[in-house]
Chains A and B, each alone.
Chain A
Amino acid sequence: MRFLSDTCVIFNRSMRLSLRNAVWLVIGISQPLLYLALFGPLLKRIVGLHGFPSGNSWQVFTPGLLVQLGIFGALFVGFGLIGELRAGVIERMRVTPASRMALLAGRVLRDVVVLLVQSTILLLAAFAFGLRAPIGGVILAVVLVAAVGAAFAAGSYAVALRTRTEEGMASVTNSLAVPLLLLSGILLPMSLAPGWLRLISNINPVKHIVDALRALFLGHVASGTVGIGVLVGAGLIAAGMAFGTRTFQRESE
């Protein structure tokens, strides 16, 4: 299959170049680790607060960090593509008979693999800090985060191809990232929020992913919260991939 072999070539190439630029990978993983070390202990103190979800504070906090790593890391992968655009690499690849979808999929696959490695490191560290959670739920949570991360990565590449400049890309991603982050309950659960805020946060898909992850960390695999999270995740993937593929197939200007 042409698509698979092209995806493989692009994946290998992107991964090789990412590993050569290992600084980025280190920065990518050190941020959630810092949150874990410097913000996690604060949470321990408010566990007893009215409205705080059940479970040990790490069971509430680690899922949030996973989503932050997955989604907000993926939102910024497009910046790398702008470098490739400027270097003329994308142009050169688009003149080959390679599948347009593979040009996208190979890069997204690289991002998912990087995300899986980072998630594993984060989870190991969280266990060291005191996280206890059922392993099955944690694995499902990682799968969900990886899938949603892929959707955001595809979207980020599409935005990069459309804006073509770091400035344009930054204004789009920042204006998306801040409300998504604030309304997601990543750092503090939305169950602490006043009614009006909780209502608004319900339109944020990321919030449902975070909720689903927290349920999974509590072992509530067959719960409605997880069901909603999976549906929202599937919707995000469909939207992200459609947007990404359409943009890669579109002519370049």
Chain B
Amino acid sequence: MIEASGLSKTYRTRAGVVEAVRGVDIEVHAGEIVAFLGPNGAGKTTTQRMLTTLLTPTAGTATVAGHDLRKDPLQVRRRIGYVPQGGSTAPEATVGEELIDHGRLYGLSKAQSEGRGRRLVSQLDLEGTWGRQTRTLSGGQRRRLDIALGLINEPPLLFMDEPSAGLDPQSRANLWRHIRALREDRAVTVFLTTHYLEEADALCDRIVVIDRGVIVARGTPEELKRAVSGDAVSLRLRDLDDVEAASPVLEAMPHTSLTRSDGDVLDFSLPDASLALPELFAALEQAGVGLAGIEVHRPTLDDVFLSLTGRALRDAPVSTAA
């Protein structure tokens, strides 16, 4: 659905040349929900704006929804929907007016546009808002209206820029439910940017991590967590003799590394604790090691981001030019 290679965007500003995006390759298959994850200013929005024809890439090529981005932007526009960050509706316009007008810009007749608009309103739980001005909607409702607008041309591919930014946790969970339903009910492929790890983890099949204009990792949430830091396991042993006896057993296990030893507690990491632990228990028992307790910590995407970039996602510099 999206195939981009070497996409780059360079700006010339008074302060000098800014390389916002530096040679990004992205592949998104039909039916996937893919998150583009990174801190503010990492180049997510710039990349998305190139893929939605809003910005011309400085270098690189891309095929979006079956058409070449550079040669045929008009065909790309017909086949994509875009939900921009921070809303897309005029406060004084009513929900119905926005939907009908937007559909007409895709060449739909007024009746077609209204029919689709009303169906979207009911699918996205916006019943009763048709004649209301958009400024009277709640934040969650307005976001769902943005999505309805993005779907009026029935695109196979929907871009969303920070869909849940600024929403309370309840509205966010509700929005995620609707985004999942897009794929199930309408077979829409979704490519969204986010700087919320929970969002990428909860919603997406695959994640592409971008930092400072370069892609630093990609994979399923599970793969990323496993590949980057592995699972952290803490073993509490009965006494110090057991610690002595346990260490060589751990060292003999493949892909296992001891990270810390503190009194009767041994910390170590291994790629997949759920597979490795039964074997480890058997080995420890054979060596006569007495176990007092065990704790397994599965890494979060926060840990992933930290180990990839050396920075926590939320400490990343906040820039308004995201």
Question: Which residues of B80-109 are within 8 A (CB) of A?
Answer: 80-82, 84-93, 97, 101-102, 104-107
Q: Is B149 an interface residue (CB 8 A)?
A: yes
Q: A97-B77, A253-B11 are in contact. Are A87 and B105 (CB under 8 A)?
A: no
Contact between chains at B84 and A21 (CB < 8 Å): no
Contact partners of B149 in chain A: CB under 8 A: 92
* Residue in A9, A20, A97, A251 whose CB lies within 8 Å of B101: A9
B101 and A88 form a contact (CB under 8 A) = no
**Cross-chain contact B86 with A97 (CB below 8 angstroms):** no
Interface residue? A94 (CB, 8 A): yes
Given contacts A17-B92, A97-B107, contact A91 B101 (CB under 8 A): no
Q: How far is the CA of A98 from the CA of B108 in the complex (A)?
A: 11
Given contacts A9-B104, A16-B97, A92-B82, contact A87 B55 (CB under 8 A): no
A117 at the interface (CB under 8 A from B): no
- Whether the Cβ atoms of A91 and B54 lie closer than 8 Å is yes
Partner of A20 from B77, B82, B92 at Cβ < 8 Å? B92
> Which of B80, B92, B104 contacts A95 (CB under 8 A)?
B80
B52 part of interface (Cβ distance < 8 Å): yes
Residues 95-132 of chain A, each 1 if its beta carbon lies under 8 Å from chain B, else 0: 11110000000000000000000000000000000000
Pick from B53, B84, B105 the residue with the most CB of A within 10 Å: B105
Please determine whether B77 and A21 come into contact, CB atoms closer than 8 angstroms: no
Specify which chain A residues have a CB less than 8 angstroms from the CB of B97 in the assembled complex.
Answer: 13, 16
Chain B contact residue count (CB 8 A cutoff) = 33
The A interface, classified by DSSP as helix, strand, loop or mixed, is helix
* Residues 260 to 275 of chain B near chain A (Cβ within 8 Å): none
The CA-CA distance from A151 to B82 in the complex, in Å, is 32
Quick check: B87 and A87 within 8 Å, CB to CB? yes
Interface string of B269-292 (1 = CB under 8 A from A): 000000000000000000000000
Q: Are B11 and A91 in contact (CB under 8 A)?
A: no
Task: Assess whether A2 is interfacial by the CB under 8 Å rule.
Answer: yes
Q: Which residues of B contact A12 (CB under 8 A)?
A: 101
Distance between A171 CB and nearest chain B CB, rounded to angstroms: 17
A12 to B110 Cα, complex, angstroms? 13
Judging by beta carbons under 8 Å apart, are B105 and A6 in contact? yes
Choose from A87, A91, A96, A252 the contact partner of B77 (Cβ within 8 Å). A96
Q: Say how far B184's CB is from chain A's closest CB, in angstroms.
A: 24
Knowing A17-B93, A251-B56, A253-B55 are in contact, say whether A92-B88 is a contact too (CB < 8 A): yes
Contact of A89 among B11, B89, B107 (CB under 8 A): B89
Near A by CB (< 8 A), chain B positions 134-161 give 146, 149, 153
> Are B90 and A17 closer than 8 Å at their CB atoms?
yes
Min distance, Cβ B27 to any Cβ of chain A, angstroms: 22
Q: A68-87: which residues lie under 8 A (CB-CB) from chain B?
A: 84, 87
Write the chain A residue with the least CB distance to B104. A9
- Contacting pair A95 B77 (CB below 8 A): yes
Q: How far is the CA of A16 from the CA of B94 in the complex (A)?
A: 11
A interface vs B, CB < 8 Å? 2, 5-6, 9, 12-13, 16-17, 20-21, 84, 87-89, 91-98, 251-253
Task: Jot down 11 A-B pairs with beta carbons below 8 A, ordered by A.
Answer: A13-B97, A16-B97, A17-B93, A87-B87, A88-B88, A92-B102, A95-B80, A95-B81, A96-B77, A97-B78, A253-B11
Q: Given A17-B93, A253-B55, output 18 extra A-B contacts at Cβ < 8 Å.
A: A6-B105, A9-B105, A12-B101, A13-B101, A84-B90, A87-B88, A87-B89, A87-B91, A89-B89, A91-B88, A92-B84, A93-B102, A95-B82, A96-B106, A96-B153, A97-B78, A97-B107, A252-B55
Q: Which 8 A-B pairs have the closest CB atoms?
A: A92-B88, A88-B88, A98-B105, A96-B105, A95-B82, A97-B77, A9-B104, A91-B84
